[in-house]
A and B are shown apart, each in its own frame.
Chain A
Amino acid sequence: MLKREVPLLITILVGWFMVIEYFFPGAEKWSSELQNWAIIMTALASVLGVANVARINMLKISRKQKDWGYSVVLMAGMILMVVLGTLFPMIKSIFGIESSWTLAGMELSGVTSGTWFTQFYDSMFVPMQGTMFALLAFYIASAAFRSFRIRSVDATLLAVAAIIVMIGRVPIGDVMWSGMSGLSDWIMNVPNLAAKRAILIGAALGAISTGLKVIMGIERNFLGGD
C-alpha cells in the first residue's frame, strides 16, 4: 500500500503545487527549491543508468553470452571516459594537485580542449554520431522509393506536395522555376500548418488531460499496475 500510495500522494501534491505556482508568485521560492531538487535528482539518475549498463554487460561478459565482445568494448569505453572526464579531475581537486598529467603531450585529466577526453570526443564520438545521423538521408531515400505509391487521389496530392516542397526548399528549385520556393513556402505555411496545428492542438489536449489524470490520481498505471 505505502509503495503505491506515498508516491501517488507526492505526485498529487507536487503536481497541484506546480499548477498553482504559475498563478501565485508567493510560491516562487518553493517552486525554485523543488526545481533544484529535480535538477539534482535527474543528475543522480545517471548513476542508475550506469549501474544498469554495468549489470547487464558484466553479466553478459561473465557468462560469455553471444556477442559478449561488444560488451567488453562498451565497458572499456565507458570506464575510460569516466576515468578521464570525472575521476582524474576529482582526484586532482581533492588532493589539490595543480600540475598537469600528460600523455603524449596531451592532458589526461578534464574535459576541455587539449585533453585526451576531447581527443576521443573529436576523433571517435563526433564522426560516429555524424554517421548515424547521416544514415537518415539514405533511409529517407529507401523509404520514399518503397512507400510513396500513387494509389489514390489523396496519395497523388501528397506526392505532388512532397515533390514541390522537396524541390522548393533547396536552391535548385528556383533555378527550375522562379516561383518554386514561393509555392513551397505556401504549402508549408498554409495547408501544412493548418493540419499540423490541428494535430498539435489534439496532442496538447491529450497531454493536458493525461497531466490532469495523473495529478488527480485517476491514472496510476505509471506507478506500476492498477
Chain B
Amino acid sequence: MSEPTKLQKLEKIDRRWVFLVMLVAVSIPLFVSVDLPLKVTPAAQSFYDSIEALQPGDIVYYAADYDPGSKPELDPMLMATLDHLCRKDVKIVSACLWPAAPPLLEAGLNTVAVEKYGKEYGVDFVHLGFKEGKENVMVQLGKSFRDVFPQDYYGTKVEDIPLLAQKKANGEWMVDKFDDVKMIVNISAGYPGTKEWVQQVRSRYNIPIISGCTAVSAPEYYTYLRSDQLSGLLGGLSGAAEYEDLVNLPGFGIQGMAAQSLGHVAIILMILVGNILYFINSRK
C-alpha cells in the first residue's frame, strides 16, 4: 500500500488543529473591535412585545431553569428580561427546577432588581428557590405556589412575604397559582424546561409562556412558536443579542455576536476546506 500523500494526511488532520482555528476565530473580537448590525427576528420581536404588553403591577412567574454550563448563553437573557420587567414595574415570582440555578437567579435579581432599580425583596419580587420534582412541580404550581414552596430561597415562610401574603375578599390568596399571574417567562437550558412547560402547563392552565433557550434547542421550539403555544422565543446568544437591542441594553449578547459570527465563518471555511481536500483526494 502506498504512503498517503500530504493532501490525504491533511484531510485526516489531528483535530486539535481544528480546535486551534476555532479558538483563534472566537478570540479575534477580544483584541479587535468588530461592529456588526443586528436584525431582529419575528420570534424575538414577539418575546419583546409580550413583556411590553404587561401593565405596571402585573405579576409574572419567572422560571430560571438552567445551570452554569449555559450561563454564557442564557445569562444575557436573564439580565435583559429582568431589566425589562423591572422597568415595566412588573412584579416577579421566581423559582427554579434546576438544582444549580438558584445562585444564578439570585445574582441576576440582586444586580438588576435591587441594585439598578431599587426594588424591594418580598414586595416587588420573590425568589422561591429550587424544588425537585420536575413536571410534577410544574403541574402543582398551577394549583398552589405555597404548597410547593412553603418557604422562599432564604428560608422565610411565604406567609411572611408581603407579595404572597395578600388575600382576596373571599379569603383566597391573591397570588398563589398560575391563574393569578399574567405570564410565565422561562429561561431554559434543557430538561425540565420550555418543552415541559408547554406540554404540562400551557393548555392545562391556559397561560401564555415566553421562552429564552439555548441555540441547540431553539429549532425544536419553533414548532411551539408557530402553533402559538409559545408567545415569544429567544434562541441562543443571537436571540439574546436581538432582545438586548430591542430593550436598548447592550450587554454580553451583543458583544458575543462578533465571536459567534467569526466562529460560524470558521466552521464554514473548515467544511469547504474539508470538501476541497476530499474532492482532490478522491480524484487521485
> Touch between A and B in complex, CB under 8 Å?
yes
8 Å CB contact of A167 from B136, B265, B273, B279? B265
Are A170 and B257 also in contact (CB < 8 A) when A144-B270, A163-B271 are?
Answer: yes
A 118-144 to B, binary, CB cutoff 8 A, 1 in contact else 0: 100110011101101110111011101
Contact (Cβ within 8 A) A35 B140: yes
Tell me the bound Cα distance from A36 to B147 in angstroms. 9
Interface size classification for chain A: 35 or more
Complex interface: stretch among A51-59, A63-71, A181-189, A214-222 = A181-189
B91-132 contacts to A (CB < 8 Å): 100, 102-103, 106-107, 110, 131-132
Please give, as numbers and ranges, the residues of chain B lying within 8 Å of A181 by CB-CB distance: 39, 41
Please give, as numbers and ranges, the residues of chain B lying within 8 Å of A125 by CB-CB distance: 68, 100
Contact (Cβ within 8 A) B39 A171: yes
The smallest C-beta distance from A106 to any residue of chain B, in angstroms, reads 14
Nearest B-chain residue to A182, judged by Cβ? B39
Contact (Cβ within 8 A) B219 A192: yes
A172 at the interface (CB under 8 A from B): yes
Tell me the bound Cα distance from A194 to B86 in angstroms. 38
A75 at the interface (CB under 8 A from B): no
Contact (Cβ within 8 A) B143 A32: yes
Complex interface: stretch among B16-24, B53-61, B178-186 = B16-24
Main secondary structure of the interface of B (DSSP, over half): helix
Contact (Cβ within 8 A) A170 B260: yes
Please give, as numbers and ranges, the residues of chain A lying within 8 Å of B173 by CB-CB distance: none
Tell me the bound Cα distance from A171 to B259 in angstroms. 11
8 Å CB contact of A149 from B15, B70, B278? B278
Tell me the bound Cα distance from A217 to B78 in angstroms. 44
Contact (Cβ within 8 A) B69 A129: yes
Contact (Cβ within 8 A) B264 A172: yes
Please give, as numbers and ranges, the residues of chain B lying within 8 Å of A122 by CB-CB distance: 103
The smallest C-beta distance from B106 to any residue of chain A, in angstroms, reads 6
A 166-202 to B, binary, CB cutoff 8 A, 1 in contact else 0: 1101111111000001000100110011001100100
B255 at the interface (CB under 8 A from A): no
Please give, as numbers and ranges, the residues of chain A lying within 8 Å of B279 by CB-CB distance: 150
Please give, as numbers and ranges, the residues of chain B lying within 8 Å of A150 by CB-CB distance: 275, 278-279
Are A145 and B273 also in contact (CB < 8 A) when A133-B70, A133-B72, A170-B238 are?
Answer: yes
Complex interface: stretch among B1-9, B160-168, B205-213, B220-228 = B220-228
Other CB < 8 Å A-B pairs besides A127-B68, A167-B268, A174-B37, 11 of them?
A28-B143, A36-B136, A36-B147, A39-B132, A46-B132, A142-B15, A144-B274, A170-B257, A188-B219, A193-B223, A196-B222
Question: Which chain B residues have a beta carbon within 8 Å of chain A's beta carbons?
Answer: 15, 18-19, 21-23, 26, 36-39, 41-42, 67-73, 100, 102-103, 106-107, 110, 131-134, 136-137, 139-140, 143, 147-148, 153-154, 215-216, 219-220, 222-223, 226, 238, 241, 257, 260-268, 270-271, 273-275, 278-279
A–B complex contacts, Cβ < 8 Å, 20 sampled: A35-B140, A36-B136, A39-B133, A42-B132, A42-B136, A125-B68, A138-B22, A140-B267, A145-B15, A145-B273, A146-B15, A146-B274, A148-B271, A149-B275, A162-B271, A170-B238, A174-B37, A185-B42, A188-B222, A196-B220
Question: Which chain A residues have a beta carbon within 8 Å of chain B's beta carbons?
Answer: 28, 32, 35-36, 38-39, 42-43, 46, 111-113, 118, 121-122, 125-127, 129-130, 132-134, 136-138, 140-142, 144-146, 148-150, 159, 162-163, 166-167, 169-175, 181, 185, 188-189, 192-193, 196-197, 200
List the 8 shortest-distance A-B pairs measured between CB atoms, nearest first.
A39-B133, A171-B36, A172-B261, A129-B68, A129-B69, A126-B68, A170-B261, A142-B15
